Structure 1
Amino acid sequence: MPAIVLFDGECNFCDASVQFIIKRDPKGYFQFAAQQSDIGETFKREYAVPDTLDSILVIDQHKVYNSSDAALQISKHLNGLWSYLYVLKVIPKPIRNVVYKFIAKNRYAWFGKKDSCMIPPPEIRNRFL
């Protein structure tokens, strides 16, 4: 069963992150859905994700990862040296999440925001739910 990445579909940084993952995940381990989409909302309800959580989410093997745990779970399955970033898991979660939350809090100011979610090109459309 593929893992699912739920991302902020209005965030330019998040969109670029999805493109980054796709390029480094040629086996298609990850599928994607915008959190604002119907399917994204359904997953959030199904896994009891609080509306106040401002984080990328990864659902992998029926477990939900958020914040730095989600980013590391993604890195674990990427090609190349990116998979080695998973060793950062040894850093205590509160410390990792300080960095993650700083980036998440400033992502719109630094990278901008879209009016709507992107429409994936045909060659990767099957990876989007």
Structure 2
Amino acid sequence: MSSDAGVAAGEAVIVFDGTCVLCNGWVDFLLRHDRRGRYRFAAMQGATGRTLLARYGLDPDDPASFLLLEGARAWTDTDAIGRVLGGLGGFWKLARLMVLVPRPLRDVLYRWLARNRYRWFGITACRIPDEAERMRFLD
């Protein structure tokens, strides 16, 4: 990762809400299932996460979007989720079929969940990766 928070070719970075219990559960899920170590993570509360969100037109102070960066490309919300799951390989590739549901419908449901996630799942302290996970997190 360069000092200007660019994403290197071949690298995949997920910007997530580090204080959201649901979002941290998603990161735990990915750490368990991403056997190739393909994805790296940046909490939106950190300098790298904030920079990446702003660069792609997302408000770092309104964490309602999910951002996936792969090289020079960016995906948000349900497009990002489908791409991440598909990137795990195997059975998870079927998640890419979610594109059969029109994006406006998918994203309305996603935004509804995102707006209510703190109330339904709670808030936690920002995640501190353990020694084994540290290389997968950008800051």
TM-score of the superposed pair, with normalisation by structure 1: 0.91
Q: How does 1:64-75 map to 2 (within 5 A)?
A: 64-75=74-85
1:84 aligned partner: 94
Q: How far apart in 1 are the matches of 2:89 and 2:23?
A: 19
Q: How does 1:16-35 map to 2 (within 5 A)?
A: 16-35=25-44
Q: How far apart in 2 are the matches of 1:43 and 1:58?
A: 10
The answer on whether the counterparts of 2:20 and 2:118 sit within 8 Å (CA) in structure 1 is: yes
The answer on whether the counterparts of 1:6 and 1:58 sit within 8 Å (CA) in structure 2 is: yes
Identity among equivalent positions (%) equals: 34
Residue identity matched to 2:50: E
Bigger CA drift: 95-104 or 46-55?
Answer: 46-55
Unaligned runs of 5+ in 2: 1-9
Q: How far apart in 1 are the matches of 2:89 and 2:126?
A: 26
The answer on whether the counterparts of 2:11 and 2:70 sit within 8 Å (CA) in structure 1 is: yes
How many aligned residue pairs are there?
Answer: 128
The answer on whether the counterparts of 1:24 and 1:79 sit within 8 Å (CA) in structure 2 is: no
Q: How far apart in 1 are the matches of 2:113 and 2:92?
A: 19
Kindly state the Cα deviation for residue 44 of structure 1 after the two structures are TM-superposed: 2.0
Q: Deviations over 1:19-63 (max 9, x none)?
A: 101111111111000011011112123333344561111011311
The answer as to 2:65 corresponding to 1:55 is yes
The answer on whether the counterparts of 1:7 and 1:34 sit within 8 Å (CA) in structure 2 is: yes
Residue identity matched to 1:4: V
Unaligned runs of 5+ in 1: none
The answer on whether the counterparts of 1:5 and 1:32 sit within 8 Å (CA) in structure 2 is: yes
Bigger CA drift: 73-82 or 17-26?
Answer: 73-82
Residues 1:108 and 1:53: Cα distance change in structure 2 (over 3 Å): closer
1:118 aligned partner: 127
Residues 1:53 and 1:118: Cα distance change in structure 2 (over 3 Å): closer
TM-score of the superposed pair, with normalisation by structure 2: 0.85
The answer on whether the counterparts of 1:47 and 1:64 sit within 8 Å (CA) in structure 2 is: yes
